[in-house]
């Protein structure tokens, strides 16, 4: 009699293990491909990281993979010199000062605009929307001179507000397009329910639209942040003051002035990569949800 419950206890476990094995093997090819892709992407990055910790003599004579042989020769010199002597520390701060408002402002404006375009009735709505979205295709290069002249007249050249404004303007068309589309997929009855519950437009926006759109907004934030953080052109043209230069500009200067000092460049490059990595990993959960949004019904 005692054997019966025992047997019935083992069988499900066996079945479960079997099912897991089956799943593992059926997904094996997928995993192999993913691992290969990850390695391909990762190798240069690791090389960069390793190189940035090697002394200049080593960097210029041997490859980064030789660093793992004894005797280990690692140093923080590259970082200290690039931060202190070459203004990378200041630039890092500048990059933050540019990127954070350069991300927050357009997303804030675009989410208000997206709400209006998706859910409010006003004359000329469709025309205005098409016009705004069409701006996506205008190349930045075509705007540089007119905007620069406008900035010169309004004394915005070389100021942080100026570059915030520029990044906001360049980011808005796509941001409005994306958020309008996403907000538009929210069920109409949800908003109506809130209006009947006594909510104003503001309440609906902050209590319903924003919380329900976190994936879309997070994806957009990552895109916009990376774009602003990695931007060189806009900074080069509108921010002609060296003390306000972001990292991209400073690295660019490093390349021209220290053309052969690779070790400094690697350290600088790595510093500039850190924040995007942090941002991405912090928001990646939403990011994945954002790009697969609508694929799976909730």
Crossing angle of helices 262-291 and 77-84, in 10° steps, is: 90
When the beta carbons of 140 and 212 are compared against another protein, the nearer one is 212
Going by C-beta distance under 8 Å and a sequence separation of 6 or more, which residues neighbour residue 11?
Answer: none
Triad 290, 293, 295: Cα angle to 5°: 145
Token pair, residue 202, equals 């503001």
- Give CA 192 to chain center in angstroms: 34
Residue 184 Cβ vs another protein, minimum distance, rounded to whole Å: 16
Between CA 229 and CA 136 the distance in angstroms is 19
Residue 288 Cβ vs another protein, minimum distance, rounded to whole Å: 18
The answer to the question of residue 298 lying near another protein (CB under 8 A) is yes
Residue 175 Cβ vs another protein, minimum distance, rounded to whole Å: 22
Q: Considering only CA atoms, which of 78, 92, 56, 53 is closest in space to residue 244? A: 92
Report which DSSP code applies to 242. G
The answer to the question of residue 9 lying near another protein (CB under 8 A) is no
Among 67, 203, 253, 262, binds another protein (CB under 8 A): 203
The answer to the question of residue 199 lying near another protein (CB under 8 A) is yes
Token pair, residue 140, equals 């930045």
Token pair, residue 197, equals 């519950």
The answer to the question of residue 193 lying near another protein (CB under 8 A) is yes
Tell me, residue by residue from 40 to 79, as one string, x for binding to another protein by CB under 8 A and - for no binding. ----------------------------------------
Residue 281 Cβ vs another protein, minimum distance, rounded to whole Å: 23
Going by C-beta distance under 8 Å and a sequence separation of 6 or more, which residues neighbour residue 269?
Answer: 48, 52, 251
Going by C-beta distance under 8 Å and a sequence separation of 6 or more, which residues neighbour residue 181?
Answer: 118
Tell me, residue by residue from 137 to 176, as one string, x for binding to another protein by CB under 8 A and - for no binding. ----------------------------------------
Residue 103 Cβ vs another protein, minimum distance, rounded to whole Å: 23
Between CA 129 and CA 120 the distance in angstroms is 12
Residue 270 Cβ vs another protein, minimum distance, rounded to whole Å: 38
When the beta carbons of 97 and 212 are compared against another protein, the nearer one is 212
Between CA 102 and CA 104 the distance in angstroms is 6
The answer to the question of residue 285 lying near another protein (CB under 8 A) is no
The answer to the question of residue 123 lying near another protein (CB under 8 A) is no
The answer to the question of residue 206 lying near another protein (CB under 8 A) is no
Backbone dihedral angles phi then psi of residue 79, each to the nearest 5 degrees = -65, -45
Among 33, 93, 190, 277, binds another protein (CB under 8 A): 190
The answer to the question of residue 208 lying near another protein (CB under 8 A) is yes
Task: Mark the segment that binds another protein (CB under 8 A) among 31-39, 174-182, 189-197, 251-259.
Answer: 189-197
The answer to the question of residue 293 lying near another protein (CB under 8 A) is no
The answer to the question of residue 242 lying near another protein (CB under 8 A) is no
Backbone dihedral angles phi then psi of residue 220, each to the nearest 5 degrees = -60, -40
- The footprint of another protein (CB under 8 A) covers 187, 189-190, 192-199, 203, 207-208, 211-212, 298
């Amino acid at each position: 009699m005692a054997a019966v419950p025992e047997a019935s206890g083992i069988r499900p476990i066996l079945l479960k293990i079997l099912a897991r094995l089956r799943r593992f093997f059926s997904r094996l090819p997928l995993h192999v491909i993913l691992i290969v892709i990850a390695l391909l992407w990762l190798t240069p990055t690791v090389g960069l990281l390793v190189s940035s910790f090697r002394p200049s003599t080593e960097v210029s004579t041997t490859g980064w993979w030789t660093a793992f042989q004894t005797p280990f020769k690692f140093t923080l010199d590259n970082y200290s010199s690039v931060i202190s002597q070459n203004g990378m520390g200041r630039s890092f701060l500048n990059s933050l000062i540019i990127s954070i408002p350069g991300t927050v402002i357009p997303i804030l404006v675009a989410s208000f605009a997206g709400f209006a375009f998706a859910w409010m009735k006003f004359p000329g709505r469709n025309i205005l929307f098409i016009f705004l979205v069409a701006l996506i295709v205008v190349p930045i290069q075509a705007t540089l001179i007119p905007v620069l002249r406008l900035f010169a007249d309004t004394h915005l050249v070389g100021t942080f507000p100026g570059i915030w404004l520029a990044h906001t303007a360049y980011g808005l068309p796509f941001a409005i397009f994306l958020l309008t589309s996403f907000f538009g997929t929210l069920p109409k009855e949800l908003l109506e329910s809130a209006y009947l519950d006594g909510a104003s437009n503001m309440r609906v926006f902050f209590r319903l639209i924003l919380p329900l759109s976190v994936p879309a907004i997070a994806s957009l934030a990552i895109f916009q942040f990376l774009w602003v953080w990695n931007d060189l052109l806009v900074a080069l043209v509108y921010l002609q003051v060296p003390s306000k230069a972001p990292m991209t500009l400073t690295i660019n200067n490093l390349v021209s002035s220290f053309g052969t000092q690779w070790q400094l460049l690697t350290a600088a490059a790595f510093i500039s990569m850190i924040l995007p990595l942090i941002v991405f990993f912090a928001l990646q959960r939403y990011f994945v949800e954002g790009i697969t949004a609508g694929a799976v019904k909730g």
